[in-house]
A and B are shown apart, each in its own frame.
Chain A
Amino acid sequence: MTSKIMPLAEAVGRFVKDGHTIAMEGFTHLIPFAAGHEVIRQARRELTLVRMTPDIIYDQLIGMGCAKSLVFSWGGNPGVGSIHRFRDAIENGWPRPLAIQEHSHADMAGRYQAGASGLPFSVLRGYVGSDLPKHNPNIRSITCPFTGERLAATPAINPDVTVIHAQKADREGNVLIIGIVGVQKEAVLAAKAAIVTVEEIVDRLEAPMNSCVLPHWVLAAVCEVPYGAHPSYAHGYYGRDNAFCKAWDPISRDRDTFLAWMKEHVLGTKDHAGFLKSAGITPIGRDAIHG
């Protein structure tokens, strides 16, 4: 059997193609920043980006012109405010117009579940009274065949590629996720191919019973990328870099400042270790947050 363990650049090169629907998940925890940067380095274009909570990494992908459309349920820089490249794309069409398909969290989670389950659609008791269905033709309704109740229905999400970050994998490529697991299992199982970056590859996972484990045979690639979730956090490894999240606001507010920053630190480096060094980032240890 061919090993699933490979460098991140190889995984992105092999599996992420122009025009693909790409989901990068991680609910404010374990956000796959290093993988997002690699997609930017490899200059993928015409992507449909899917993510419940587009934040800084999608701001960067959108601002660098990788995306033609965005499927999401909440877009912002948590605790800081707006994401300016996302807003500039929607409000002014820069660097290119961005088509949006907007949902609620409950619905996005359900759409991934339907995708993972091989079902065509998801059903939920949602959007009652909301204007969202008027602006998103994918939000429709269905009548329950048993009770007659009208419920919201939306199509399954089946990304070409889902990308997530996790704490660790073993040498076979089995992955363990600890802490806030978000929608990652569903997003991985819904995808045609899944790339997982991990903090470390270990001899034995030592996963507690019932923990969130993704077996190697549902994954396309597993890549060891320490600090690959920075500036988000990896529970048990390092804390959220709130100073970076705040610093992102002025960097991203101005188009030229943004482009210069991305050219220097992302396009100008060959991998994540190079990026961290170039941007002068020292991830914050666990004790700084939980000590």
Chain B
Amino acid sequence: MAILENTYAGLFCPAGGFHIDPLRPVDRALITHGHADHARAGHGAVMATAQTLDIMAIRYGEAFAGMRQVATPTRIGDVDVSFHPAGHVLGSAQIHISGRAGSVTISGDYSRTANPACAPFQPVPADIFVTEATFGLPVFRHPDPLDEIGKLLASVAAQPERAHLVGAYALGKAQRVIMLLRDAGWDAPIYIHGALQRLCDYHIAQGIPLGDLRPATIDRSTKAQFAGQIILGPPSAFAATWAQRFPDPVICFASGWMQVRARARQRGVELPLVISDHVDWPDLTRTITELDPAETWVTHGREDAVIRWCDLQQRAARPLRLVGYDDEAEA
């Protein structure tokens, strides 16, 4: 019996009787982090970090699963299970499983760039390393995020009569942008769309300072007050009438996808900010080299290029081709 199988509902550990980040409701799920394509509601029992469980409760309500359990090193069925920091977003973890059939580390989504919201990625060697491949193409080399924030601040200074509307996903990216702005010396209030409020509040409650945040929900008659201000919202809000309340807005978008110009243009972005919470190509390939697993499994993203790289390095690798991860969301 293999330590890990690829099933209809997602990755499954037969010796432990549980799924990891299942795509469909299952009896028992281990969840790496709170992004919607990994953490779904409706499982029988969920094990995850305390923060991921809190985030799921915020997103789906307290009744998101039949039973919940905070991750600690433990034995489930015939395997030992442990959770390790992934450096992706608040609460994110890799999952390590070992048993008679060998060992596996499932990265979930991970990043090796410092992020004050979470503990840094911890390399956990195993026989099999399951890596994400969101930015698994050699064109992806993320720049220093502080330089990207510098671009935003320079644009605000050069166009003080316009509002800067920054698209950022609600979990992780929004708080990351806020923290980077604070690091860069932006002490003014930052306005946030209502959809970001609860997760920002939760970060603050977890001891992550975000400074003066205010709701961007003032009536239209006061449009001019947003001139020169920075407003954060989920990208979906940019299509809504919400965007109409701001004066001649500069549409910005904080995402690793912004490295590719066509992506930025398709979204109508005027100021692309390449800020990612995933590994870029150099970090992804470096991680595989460092962990030196007997086998690398590649999931959601650009599997083909990572597999090709493994071939060139004479490493055993296979694509998982899991269906259902939204590899372009929350990146």
Question: Do these two chains really belong together in a complex?
Answer: no
